[in-house]
Chain A
């Protein structure tokens, strides 16, 4: 049973535009959420997180939004850069259920 879902396996965005990656979860007990970025042949690297007591967390070009009632979170990247091209995973704490990943391609 996939408790964390990323329904878009891929996304293409023009350089400079906004990238929006979405994630849905089913377990209302999750109280901490994280986004990871993964380049080919490397392990995932932590990107940004959000606690359930917040609905928004911003770090530079990256902003994560949490909608607890909808059990939905999203990652916004503004402006998108070619170096952002990677697979992005959302994750829910503590059992660490990962989504299936969204492959983002930023087109120069």
Chain B
């Protein structure tokens, strides 16, 4: 299965600022996924990032708040913009593996103060 390097692993950010999270995959993948896990809640899909096209966002998530880049088949970034304390979450990137199993990055624990 693919190996994903995600960074930063954690950050504490000021309200109103932005943070960009990076995911590097050791193989070429068509689709990458970005998830959020808020405290005490399940993993929620933010968007699907396809190389060469705009990301597809799930209901409740918009590009202005969570812009995504996918410059090639091994790399993607998610930016959390104009952060508020409600954005404090764990953010994870993911790629599809074999047999429908998905591989996840190690996550970025974001705290907004």
Contact A44 B104 (CB under 8 A): yes
Q: Does B41 contact A (CB under 8 A)?
A: yes
Q: How large is the interface on A (under 10, 10 to 19, 20 to 34, 35 or more residues)?
A: 20 to 34
A43 near B6 with CB under 8 A, answer yes
* Minimum Cβ distance to chain A for residue B57 (Å): 14
B: number of interface residues (CB 8 Å): 24
Residue-wise, chain A 21-59 has the 8 Å CB interface mask toward B (1 for contact) of: 000000000001010100001111110010000000000
A98 near B42 with CB under 8 A, answer yes
Taking CB atoms, residues of chain B closer than 8 Å to A45 are: 103-104
Given contacts A41-B107, A43-B106, are A89 and B100 in contact (CB under 8 A)? no
Determine if A89 and B42 form an interchain contact, defined as CB atoms under 8 angstroms apart: yes
Contact A41:B101 (CB < 8 A) given known A98-B43, A99-B42, A100-B41: no
C-alpha gap A43/B4 in the complex (Å): 10
CB distance from A15 to the nearest CB of B (A): 27
**Which A positions have Cβ atoms within 8 angstroms of B?**
2, 4, 32, 34, 36, 41-46, 49, 89, 93, 95-101
Residues of B within 8 A of A (CB): 1, 4, 6, 9, 33, 40-45, 92, 94, 97, 99-107, 109
Q: Can you report 10 A-B residue pairs in the complex whose CB atoms are below 8 A from each other?
A: A4-B42, A34-B102, A41-B106, A43-B104, A43-B107, A46-B102, A49-B101, A96-B45, A96-B102, A97-B42
